[in-house]
């Protein structure tokens, strides 16, 4: 394309228009654009003016460069124009990126508008880096609050998000000020155990962690590092002698894992890739569970004897004067219990107090320590004063308190592990080994075969997949036929047919037939790894409703301590007034017990767990159903949408042209032969409509290769002409249609046919007009100078589109259609989908899609969802309150969206909305329970119900507190029973019944035709072939 940037129109506008037609296009970066103007649009966050600092910076730095014609201001962008004959396209890109890197505080847009620029925008903020860490030792939302509050104050930390249930944190920091190790150490100093999972130091590079043995000194590590760094594609290598671990960052497009491992072995060392069981163990909380189980067992071993002593040993029996046997034995049992059972609570509580952020462990520590120290003081007082009366102590209270709380933490972490079950399941799908084969050159015969670990598979490897085996990597089938079960990733229960050139995903199961697959995506780039990453990031994020819990938790502990002190004072006053006295305890003892009960029963844990547990389970359930929700925010927002806007191409429609009908107007050449001729002729064409004709012929005839094309002429804007030969082999050897040696073919529009002197009669013109009025493209086929058929080609509506629109409308959600196509095509598609014509936006350019979403948000004052799949949809997906991308769409759309539908099924849109509704409802239930528990439990523990004989001893309060947290987690786990809404299931069932009925009708017609045995009739033969194709087609 040769174009001048005049009137604001340039090559990128052309690309946008072509994109809107359903194709993907962009200027080739190696094209110099000789004799034209290179125009780049650099997006800005807001509209600039001539006096703005940012525009002046661009103007000052770029204008003096030779070849830069001018820099001007566009709509929310800076327009740079350069002379292609002076400066290359790549040089312009480099200049722009270099200029951006000089911005001191530039902010990268949420999603660049890729449709207006192909400049590979470098990260505008080079000073920040993302760090993912594992954090152990958190018990409640106060712990999360403590970490976030303290870390955000650290110089160099820009943002931090901590997930309580997942025990992970995501930190954005400045590496020039802090290192990842220092960040982890700071979190450790707060009383938690923090380890680095992933440091975003080398974005765009793969990371390989290996275990190296055979090293004896630092010279060995230096030798390995030098060897690795000498390899092309290795960015960084770090080897630690003491741990025998190495970390390598490399470009997997340049070098593979096996080459790296081989180089280490060639250097004289043994190397292996560590097992991934560590990650599975972290997800299951196994280490934490085992730790709390051990603590509980040890506490129980001390608490059980204390209870026996309480009820068996006589109260009056003395060891010496002033020292009773019963309290002495309790002291002996309880003292080691303070270290064995209370140490965890004491350490965490002390560190939280030092950093001015009290958490749940402070309350537990205060309750246990006060009861123990009070009992020690009473025991010493009795011994020093030689008291002969009974000595009332509460040593058993601290032991029972630690026992119940550790039991609660044990059960709670078991339940927490279940909230990550979906992520664990996804990780378990990964195959451990792969069979790599070498083929005989020029054939698909296997020359050699080797079984290797999955981590060693490289791009381009040929992988053999036998029936029943897991597909180890993403790839393209190069040989073989089979059906693959993809239910574990997409939720689709029916196996998917795989033939040559079909794509397969790692983690799925090959049901039948052997496949040879060329690996295209391995390691972190594989679909399964990307899904796991999305789910992990979603579970780290916080829902907006979590802010309420964080706010409450920040004040919770100080308020509870104040209430406990108030309880003690009130009961002391009432005791001196001899009001509501207790027959078993003195007023001082009862006041102390009530105060301890208040400390113990208060539970910020349930508040802190209410949201993250539900978000973890909800996002996990979504992933199991083929719906990837990117965090708590979209999960909470989705159920609020009342307007859903659908892009047309690739979303409501299939996104690819197919042949709908073949209407013959001349039967000299039978329909089947005509289709074979047309398919052969178009096999030499690169036009999408031509490819649709070729694919239709191949599918109908069930062949991979058609006939031969010669004398091919492509006439732009009209069609093609050629000679077709060698199609006899496509038909039955006996009784088939009569086949000529060669055919002269012309396929195209009216202009092409009329140019050849072929006239179109009125019925043909009427037929074409009818098809075109329905939004179809009518293509004329002439054979040997005579018009034979009219082929209609269109981008058909998806089979579940109409049912989905009807379902959403029944839920009160307004459905809109957004497309760049003309109004006639848009109305045709909307009519089939059941979308009212007043809700159609047609002829909309990509940038205008954003304004359409904005207008809907402004007009209806409500939440708007956008469903799309293409590059040109990404700005609208970002603008919408909830962006939903079809998983078969482009990477840009998937990156911009809030929700990704792995399956190409529109039914998942209402399922995502319903899942959001159910999850938010569960979060609210959890909050209500947690708040009611504390609102009712604290007054009862304080003794407000004592006049009616209802009181809580401290260990009863501890048991109640334990039940509170466990109930919240179990409530969230109830989301695992989620099922699709009944009306969605009914709609799917009705659609399947309809498709089965069509298939049965086709099969009955086929049997009827076969019984007639009229194979000599060419038209009948064609109908038999077509019905066979119809009855065996997966999508009727």
The sign of the dihedral angle between the CA atoms of 920, 922, 923, 925 is positive
Strands 899-901 and 627-629: antiparallel
Which residue is it, tokens 């509580």? 349
Which are the contacts of 84, defined by CB distance < 8 A and separation ≥ 6? 32, 33, 34, 35, 36, 37, 38
Strands 658-664 and 786-794: antiparallel
Residue 352's φ and ψ, nearest 5 degrees, are -70, -35
User: In 625-715, which ranges are continuous DSSP H helix?
Assistant: 632-637, 671-682, 688-701
Q: In what order do the strands lie in the sheet with 719-725?
A: 658-664, 786-794, 777-783, 742-748, 719-725, 708-715
Contact yes or no for 446/439 (Cβ under 8 A): yes
Counted residue by residue, the chain has a size of 1036
* DSSP-assigned letter for residue 179: -
Q: Which bin fits 356, alpha (ψ -120 to 50), beta or left (φ > 0)?
A: left
Nearest to 623 by CA among 474, 798, 427, 800: 427
801-810 vs 823-833: helix crossing angle, rounded to 10: 70
Which residue is it, tokens 């102390």? 592
Which residue is it, tokens 């279940």? 418
Which residue is it, tokens 């870390």? 151
Contact yes or no for 603/933 (Cβ under 8 A): yes
CA distance 356 to 349: 10
Q: Which tokens hold the place of 874?
A: 């990404």
Contact yes or no for 167/282 (Cβ under 8 A): yes
Contact yes or no for 509/471 (Cβ under 8 A): yes
Active site residues: 647
Q: Which bin fits 515, alpha (ψ -120 to 50), beta or left (φ > 0)?
A: beta
CA distance 911 to 492: 14
CA 235 to centroid of chain Cα atoms? 28
The CA–CA distances, whole Å, from 154 to 160, 350, 426, 553, 877 equal 11, 21, 36, 22, 35
CA distance 4 to 128: 39
| 450: β partners | 436
The CA–CA distances, whole Å, from 710 to 115, 409, 676, 726, 746 equal 39, 77, 15, 11, 13
Nearest to 280 by CA among 403, 393, 430, 388: 430
How many of the other CB atoms lie within 10 Å of CB of 385? 9
Which residue is it, tokens 């040997």? 784
First to last CA, the chain: 40
The CA–CA distances, whole Å, from 977 to 191, 602, 926 equal 37, 30, 17
H-helix or E-strand spanning residue 519: strand 515-521
Q: Which tokens hold the place of 1016?
A: 């000599």
The sign of the dihedral angle between the CA atoms of 593, 595, 598, 599 is negative
């Amino acid at each position: 394309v040769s174009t001048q940037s005049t009137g604001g129109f340039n090559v990128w506008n052309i690309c946008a228009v072509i994109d809107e037609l359903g194709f993907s296009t962009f200027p080739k970066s190696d094209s110099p654009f000789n004799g034209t103007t290179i125009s780049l649009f650099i997006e800005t966050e807001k509209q600039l003016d001539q006096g703005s600092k940012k525009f002046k910076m661009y103007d000052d730095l770029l204008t003096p460069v030779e070849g830069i014609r001018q820099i001007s201001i566009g709509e929310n962008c800076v327009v740079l124009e350069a002379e292609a004959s002076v400066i290359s396209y790549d040089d312009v890109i480099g200049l722009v990126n270099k200029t951006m890197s000089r911005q001191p505080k530039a902010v990268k847009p949420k999603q660049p508008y890729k449709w207006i620029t192909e400049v590979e925008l470098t990260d505008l903020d080079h000073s920040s880096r993302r760090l993912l860490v594992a954090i152990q030792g958190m018990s409640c939302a106060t712990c999360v609050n403590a970490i976030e509050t303290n870390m955000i104050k650290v110089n160099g930390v820009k943002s931090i998000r901590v997930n309580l249930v997942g025990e992970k944190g995501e930190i954005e920091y400045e590496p020039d000020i802090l290192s990842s190790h220092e960040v982890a150490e700071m979190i450790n100093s707060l009383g938690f155990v923090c380890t680095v999972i992933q440091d975003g130091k080398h974005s765009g590079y793969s990371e390989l962690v290996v275990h190296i043995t055979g090293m004896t000194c630092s010279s060995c590590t230096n030798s390995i590092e030098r060897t690795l760094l000498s390899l092309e594609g290795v960015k960084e290598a770090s080897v630690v002698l003491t741990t025998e671990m190495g970390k390598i960052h490399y470009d997997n497009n340049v070098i593979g894992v096996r080459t790296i491992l081989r180089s280490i072995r060639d250097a004289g060392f043994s190397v292996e890739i560590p097992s991934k069981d560590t990650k599975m163990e972290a997800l299951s909380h196994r280490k934490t569970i085992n730790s709390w189980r051990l603590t509980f067992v040890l506490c129980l071993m001390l608490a059980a004897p204390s209870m026996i002593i309480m009820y068996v040993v006589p109260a009056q029996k003395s060891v010496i004067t002033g020292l009773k046997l019963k309290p002495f034995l309790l002291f002996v049992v309880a003292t080691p219990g303070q270290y064995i059972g209370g140490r965890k609570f004491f350490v965490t509580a002390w560190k939280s107090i030092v950093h001015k952020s009290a958490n749940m462990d402070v309350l537990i520590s205060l309750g246990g320590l006060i009861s123990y120290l009070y009992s020690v003081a009473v025991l010493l007082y009795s011994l020093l004063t030689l008291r002969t009366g009974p000595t009332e102590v509460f040593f058993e209270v601290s032991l029972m308190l630690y026992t119940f709380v550790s039991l609660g933490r044990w059960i709670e972490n078991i339940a927490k592990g279940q909230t990550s079950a979906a992520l664990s399941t996804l990780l378990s799908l990964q195959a451990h080994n792969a069979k790599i084969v070498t083929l005989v050159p020029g054939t698909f015969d296997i020359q050699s075969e080797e079984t290797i670990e999955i981590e060693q598979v490289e791009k381009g490897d040929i992988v053999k997949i036998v029936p029943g085996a897991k597909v180890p990597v993403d790839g393209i089938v190069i040989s073989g036929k089979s059906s693959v079960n993809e239910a574990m990733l997409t939720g689709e229960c029916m196996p998917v047919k795989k033939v040559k050139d079909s794509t397969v995903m790692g983690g799925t199961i090959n049901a039948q037939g052997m496949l040879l697959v060329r690996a295209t995506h391995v390691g972190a780039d594989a679909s399964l790894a990307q899904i796991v990453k999305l789910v992990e990031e979603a579970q780290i994020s916080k829902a907006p409703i979590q802010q309420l819990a964080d706010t409450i938790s920040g004040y919770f502990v100080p308020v509870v301590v104040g209430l406990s002190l108030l309880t003690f004072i009130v009961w002391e006053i009432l005791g001196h007034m001899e009001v509501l006295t207790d027959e078993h305890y003195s007023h001082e003892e009862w006041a102390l017990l009530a105060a301890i009960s208040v400390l113990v029963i208060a539970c910020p844990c349930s508040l802190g767990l209410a949201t993250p547990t539900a978000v973890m389970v909800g996002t996990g359930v979504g992933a199991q159903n083929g719906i990837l929700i990117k965090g708590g925010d979209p999960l909470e927002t989705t159920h609020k949408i009342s307007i859903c806007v659908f892009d047309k191409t690739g979303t409501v429609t299939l996104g690819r042209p197919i042949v709908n009908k073949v209407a013959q107007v001349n039967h000299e050449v039978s329909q089947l032969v005509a289709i074979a001729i047309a398919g052969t002729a178009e096999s030499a064409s690169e036009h999408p409509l031509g490819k649709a004709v070729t694919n239709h012929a191949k599918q109908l005839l069930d062949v991979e290769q058609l006939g031969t094309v010669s004398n091919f002429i492509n006439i732009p804007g009209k069609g093609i002409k050629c000679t077709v030969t060698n199609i006899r082999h496509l038909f039955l050897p006996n009784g088939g249609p009569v086949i000529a040696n060669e055919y002269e073919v012309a396929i195209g529009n009216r202009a092409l046919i009329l140019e050849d002197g072929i006239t179109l009669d009125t019925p043909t013109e009427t037929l074409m007009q009818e098809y075109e009025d329905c939004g179809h493209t009518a293509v004329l086929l002439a054979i040997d100078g005579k018009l034979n058929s009219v082929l209609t080609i269109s981008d058909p509506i998806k089979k579940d589109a109409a049912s989905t629109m009807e379902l959403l409308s029944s839920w009160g959600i307004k459905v809109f259609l957004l497309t760049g196509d003309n109004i006639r095509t848009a109305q045709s598609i909307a009519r089939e989908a059941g979308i009212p014509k007043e809700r159609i936006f047609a002829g909309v350019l990509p940038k205008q899609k954003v304004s359409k979403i904005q207008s809907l948000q402004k007009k209806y004052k409500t939440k708007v969802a956008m469903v799309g799949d293409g590059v040109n949809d990404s700005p609208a997906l970002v603008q919408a309150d909830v962006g939903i991308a079809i998983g078969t769409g482009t990477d840009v759309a998937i990156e911009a969206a809030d929700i990704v539908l792995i399956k190409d099924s529109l039914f998942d849109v209402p399922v995502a909305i319903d899942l959001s509704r159910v999850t938010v409802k569960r979060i609210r239930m959890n909050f209500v329970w947690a708040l009611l528990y504390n609102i009712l439990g604290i007054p009862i523990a304080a003794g407000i119900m004592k006049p009616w004989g209802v009181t809580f001893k401290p260990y009863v309060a501890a048991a109640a507190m334990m039940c509170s947290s466990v109930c919240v987690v179990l409530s969230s786990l109830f989301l695992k029973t989620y099922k699709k809404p009944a009306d969605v299931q009914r709609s799917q069932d009705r659609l399947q019944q309809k498709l089965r009925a069509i298939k049965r009708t086709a099969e009955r017609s086929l049997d009827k035709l076969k019984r007639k045995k009229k194979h000599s009739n060419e038209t009948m033969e064609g109908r038999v072939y077509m019905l066979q194709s119809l009855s065996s087609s997966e999508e009727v």
